[in-house]
Structure 1
Amino acid sequence: MEDIEVPTEHLHETIKEKTEEARETEKKWVMSLAISTALVAVLAAIAGLLAGHHSNEALIEQIRASDQWAYYQAKGIKAEIKSLQIGGADHSADVEKYRKEQKQIQTAARAHEKLSEDHLEKHVLLAKSVTLFQITIAVSAISILTRRKWLWYLGLVFALFGVFCFISGLL
């Protein structure tokens, strides 16, 4: 009996071509994942730096507000002392001057408190963006290890929310 020959050369070439195509596609995906993760890491670093800056500024503004409130109290004490002085000249002009200065000091103290609150709000938004970027990086790492593209896409969703918080923290 004669052996039947099945032409497999063409089959081997097709398998080899498909394997190369799959490898090229995976290389592109891995490269895209690596680049997107690196960009997210850069955004996380910038957001972390800015979050720390706004935290410091919030603290400085709160200290300035506290200083102004202490100054406000000092002017109030001076006004009270002047109004209680006995036997001297009329001190109502001095008392009125201190009360007027207190109003200006109060305005400055409230302005510093407002600035502190604004910086703290930006700090919170930027800190959220850092957290979301870190989650993105972790999910991307799991994605590359498990070769699951859907995890990378999920990570990109976290990154989009992170970018939203980042931009909100800048405004």
Structure 2
Amino acid sequence: MEEIEIPTEHLHETIQEKSEEALKGAENKWIMYLAISTALVAVFAAIAGLMAGHHSNEALIEQIKASDQWAYYQAKGIKAEIRSLQVNGSGDAAKIEQYKKEQQEIKKVAIAHEKLSEAHLDKHVSLAKAVTLFQIAIAVSAISILTKRKSLWYLN
């Protein structure tokens, strides 16, 4: 899966320039607070992006494991069916039962992997939404700095 990229480099430069201007004038001191808060939001966005990518990868791995288990489950079923078609005596009935029991255990493992995959995907979706909200907050902060409107910053 692709890692979520957070384009914030140009915003950091703008914030840096504006924060330096703010140090020169006491009336613009709030720009320094805005710059710091925006930097913190960028850190949260980066962490959320990293975690979203991690959960996406884990979901994929768990789904692959589930698919492997389902293939194994089918192989046991095929073996049981082949045994049932052969006429070799009473030993085959026990082997068929063994295959059926093994299939039930394999099925439990496959279902467990599928549930883990779904849980990771749910976390991925939530974190991806968080990344989007953090990016919006960064953009609103940049607009607030550029327009020198404190009210936009307060909305964050």
TMscore range, shorter length: 0.7 to 0.9
2:50 maps to a residue whose letter is: L
Q: Output the TM-score relative to the length of structure 2.
A: 0.82
Question: How far, CA to CA, are the matches of 1:101 and 1:58 in structure 2?
Answer: 25
CA distances 1:33-71 after superposition (whole Å, capped 9, x unpaired): 000000000000011001000000000000000000000
Query: 1:153 offset after TM fit, Å?
Result: 1.6
**Partner SS for 2:89:** coil
2:36 aligned residue: 35
> Where has structure 1 moved over 6 Å in runs of 4 or more?
none
- In structure 1, stretches of 5+ residues that fail to align are 1-22, 157-171
Specify the structure having the higher radius of gyration (Cα). Answer: 1
CA RMSD of aligned residues (A): 0.8
Q: Output the TM-score relative to the length of structure 1.
A: 0.75
1:151 aligned residue: 152
Question: How far, CA to CA, are the matches of 2:106 and 2:154 in structure 1?
Answer: 54
1:122 aligned residue: 123
Aligned residues: 131
2:136 aligned residue: 135
1:98 aligned residue: 99
Query: 1:134 offset after TM fit, Å?
Result: 0.3
- In structure 2, stretches of 5+ residues that fail to align are 1-24
Question: How far, CA to CA, are the matches of 1:153 and 1:98 in structure 2?
Answer: 65
Map residues 58-73 of structure 1 onto 2, 5 A cutoff. Answer: 58-73=59-74
Question: How far, CA to CA, are the matches of 2:73 and 2:81 in structure 1?
Answer: 12
Question: How far, CA to CA, are the matches of 1:95 and 1:78 in structure 2?
Answer: 8
Question: How far, CA to CA, are the matches of 2:129 and 2:154 in structure 1?
Answer: 20
Higher relative contact order (CA 8 A, sep 6+): 2
